[in-house]
Structure 1
Amino acid sequence: MNAITYAEPSEPHPEIPLAGGDVTEGVVRAGDTVRRPAGPNAPLVHALLRHLEQAGFDGAPRFLGVDAAGREVLSFLPGEVAGRPRPPWIADEERLASVGRLVRAYHEAVAGFAVPDGVRPGFGLAEPPGTPPPPPYPVELVGHMDYTPENIVFRDGQAAALIDFDLAKPVTRADELCNAMLYWAPLADPADADPLLREVDAPRRCRILADAYGMSDVDRSRVVEVAVMRTRRSWVLMRQNAEELGGGWARMWQDGVGDQIKRREAWLERHGADLEAALTAP
């Protein structure tokens, strides 16, 4: 799949470095555009962003092409994101509910999109032998699967847009909501949560997300199972990414993300019943 060449303006804009997440480096703003390195999942991401534009979804950047340096050119989305250190509003429950509504709007816009022929989602790595299986449910849509605070743009206190679709892949709605809960409830041992989220009621926050999204009863009943299975897989796959891709993946592994994942699994085992009760109560 060939990407279009971006036509630069007659007067170039200075490039301003943007603080990114844990993996992607070299992201800059130039005028009303963002330039970022194209990753191995770029063919899927570009097709997905084109679909979202055609669907009239305003909550994602527009893919404008590839510049002379081989970087993706995306439209810049104004607003605020929760970088590090986290802002005080990270625990605000109305903002939390708006995240659920944004995820639902994205799912409605992505409905009907299929992975193009010849495009393989992911980073091109074969799963290591013995990798725990994914949840046993048929995929429903191409999800974002990286709802970190850094990847959600807020305007006027409401979640307005998603950025960084590098981890997009076919998943279930339950996978997507579990991913959002992972970062925004959060689903984590309090020792690993941001200080502003260590004392929050995680089951309650999961319920707020689920209600705002309009999560089905069936998917609510699957959240804990999906979260545990995805956590077990993530330990193996994160280690593989660290070993084979290096860069930010290796730094996260060296900083102890593997131990955090193990603590998350233990926390989910201890609090799974509370989570399920909060999600499924009338």
Structure 2
Amino acid sequence: MVATLLHEIPLQGGDVTDGVVRVGDTVRRPASTSTPAVHALLRHLETVGFDGAPRVVGMDEFGREVLTFLPGTTGLRLESVTDEALAQLAGLLRRFHDATAGFSLAGAGWEGGSNDDRPAEVIGHCDLTPENVIFRRAGGGGPAGPYAFIDFDLARPTTRLFDIVTTLRHWAPISDPVDRAPLLRSVDVGARLRLFCDAYGVSPRDRRRLVELARLRFHRSYTVMRTRAASGGNWAKMWAGGAGERIRRAAAWLDVHEDELHAHLV
């Protein structure tokens, strides 16, 4: 046991899950009630050849899930906020959604959360923050690009558009400028929405609904986070750190800029 612990390297970046460590070429994470459903999804992705997600190794002697370690960088950097990186991210999300085709959407065991009112079409990641997208340089050099997703704890059946809106919340970003990372503070959000939708292949019908669904998601995410914060833990820390206020400011910013954003999409 001591030898194993000595080789554990803590991994930082997530907001919700503590105790994530690297051991050699694997990642060890505390198991949760959604772990069986997530493992089934990851095994399905491996079976269909989607290479943008970790592989399931199993469980260790401490009851933690064991996944393959995916090398690269996460977080917002100069190369991750370019138009090229955003288009690549949209393409990777489209490949992920397409890869979930054939996977059961009726199973239980997923982590709850805000969602669309329309019938589920895919399994969404539902938490593609910059910390959950891994970038690396291609073999021929050049800037790093997104190639994999990690941390599927909040994955669940949903619509394509809901997962797209959740992703754009962080990457467009759909937020008040005061809450944006410096690298994204002055970007043209409407142009980035259109670029992402073009690269993904979002239908005209879904483009017309995107702003409306973003507003609905803000409202429901606020309620979900407030409820989870009441139970303590990291959700309470996020709430105390201003998560609710940031959601409210983002929703207000969206209301002000709705017509401008919609014009970019249709």
Is TM > 0.5 for Structure 1 vs Structure 2?
yes
Asked whether 1:181 is paired with 2:168, we answer: yes
Distance 2:115 2:23 in 1: 40
CA distance in 2 between counterparts of 1:141 and 1:134 reads 12
> Across the two proteins, how many residue pairs are aligned to each other?
258
The correspondence for 1:166, drawn from 136, 144, 153, is: 153
What amino acid does structure 2 have at the position aligned with 1:223?
L
- 1:139, distance to aligned residue in structure 2 (A): 1.3
Structure 1 consecutive aligned stretches of length 4 or more whose deviation exceeds 2 Å: 86-91, 133-136
1:101 equivalenced with 2:91 (yes/no)? yes
User: Is the aligned partner of 1:36 residue 2:40?
Assistant: no
- 1:243 to 2:233 alignment: no
The separation in 2 between residues aligned to 1:69 and 1:253, in whole angstroms, is 30
What CA distance in whole angstroms lies between the structure 1 residues aligned with 2:94 and 2:26?
26
The TM-score, its normalising length taken from structure 2, stands at: 0.92
- Residue equivalent to 2:13: 20
Q: Which residue of 2 aligns with 1:253?
A: 239
Q: 1:119-134, aligned counterparts within 5 Å? A: 119-123=108-112, 134=115
- 1:74 aligned residue: 67
Q: Is the 8 A contact 2:129 2:170 kept in 1?
A: yes
Is the CA contact 1:44–1:115 (under 8 Å) kept in the aligned structure 2? no
Distance in 2 of aligned mates of 1:188 and 1:90: 18
Q: Could you tell me which amino acid in structure 1 is paired with residue 96 of structure 2?
A: Y
- 2:14 & 2:233 partners in 1: Cα distance? 12
Question: How far apart in 2 are the matches of 1:177 and 1:256?
Answer: 24
SS at match of 1:78: coil
- Alpha-carbon contact 1:32-1:76 (below 8 Å) kept: yes
Contact 2:79 2:145 in 1 (8 A): no
Could you say which residue in structure 2 is the equivalent of 1:155?
136
Normalising by structure 1, we get a TM-score of 0.87
Secondary structure of 1:161's aligned partner: strand
Q: Letter of the aligned partner of 1:196 in structure 2?
A: L
Q: Report deviation, 1:225.
A: 0.8
Match of 1:262 in 2: 248
**Does the residue aligned with 2:221 lie in a helix, a strand or coil?**
helix
- Aligned-partner SS, 2:29: strand
Per-residue deviation, 1:221: 1.0
Matched residue SS, 2:230: helix
Identity of counterpart residues, as a percentage? 50
Shift in Å at residue 108 of structure 1? Answer: 1.2
Whether the aligned pair in 2 keeps the contact of 1:29 and 1:35 (CA below 8 Å) is: yes
**Could you list the per-position Cα deviations for residues 165-196 of structure 1 after superposition, in whole angstroms to 9, with x for gaps in the alignment?**
00101110110110111000000000111111
Distance 1:20 1:65 in 2: 23
Distance 1:242 1:74, change over 3 A: same
In the alignment, which residue of structure 2 is the partner of 1:50? 43
